[in-house]
Amino acid sequence: MKKIVIIGPESTGKSTLGQQLAAHYQTVCCPEYARRYLEVNGPGYNENDLMLIAQGQLALEDWMLEEATEPFYFVDTDMYVLKVWFEVVFGTCPPWILKQCAAQQCDLYLLCRPDLPWVPDALREYPDQHERERHFKMYLDLLVNDGRPFAIISGTEDERLRNAIAAVDAQF
């Protein structure tokens, strides 16, 4: 089973892309656990909440893997997102998150560029385009420095889907 993770700044179409790719390849996409957690517990959070979100994300990924069908399993968000989130909000990242980042297995990352308009919702925090670009660069640096296979996904919603399918098909 090939694991493909979709990451990037908020409001870059990750969740939509994950669902579209899962439909295209007739498999599942593990959703972002943070959204579920914050919808239940409210938009305010602290470091302990982010640790619970990280643990929930890992558990949800394991559970959803059972529903996936060969050859692909898509995941909306992983520990890199938690690492960036910790660093942006709290200025540091706990060792446990760093350990999870090093241990996580992924066959391809799809890094979404922040070139879609920011769409407000109650859980989003960063409408400033400069800040979104800074977060994108943080993800890009992580992928490059850790030697992870990735493709940058950009364009309109339809272009993103075409670009992502092309990246997946080219990789596998």
**Interior/surface letters 28-58, b for 16+ CB within 10 angstroms, e for the rest:** bbbbbbbeebbeeeeeebeeeebebbbeebb
- Rounded CA separation 64/30 (Å): 6
Q: Is the pLDDT of residue 155 over 90?
A: yes
The H or E element containing residue 7 is strand 2-7
Q: For 135-154, what is each residue's pLDDT tens digit?
A: 999 999 999 999 999 999 99
- The per-residue pLDDT for range 43-100, each reduced to its tens digit, is 999 999 999 999 999 999 999 999 999 999 999 999 999 999 999 999 999 999 999 9
Using the predicted structure, report yes or no on whether residue 27 has a pLDDT greater than 90: yes
120 against 2, higher pLDDT: 2
The count of structural domains within the chain is: 1
Task: For residue 21, give the CATH number of its domain.
Answer: 3.40.50.300
What does the longest C-alpha to C-alpha distance in the chain come to? 41
Please tell me the pTM assigned to this model: 0.96
Distance CA 172, CA 162 (A): 16
Burial class (CB in 10 A: 0-12, 13-18, 19+), 25: buried
- What pLDDT sits at residue 122? 80
Q: If you count DSSP H runs as helices and E runs as strands, how many of each does the chain have, helices first?
A: 7, 5
Q: Which residue range is the domain that position 24 belongs to?
A: 2-171
3-state secondary structure (DSSP) of residue 99? helix
Would you state the pLDDT for residue 154?
Answer: 98
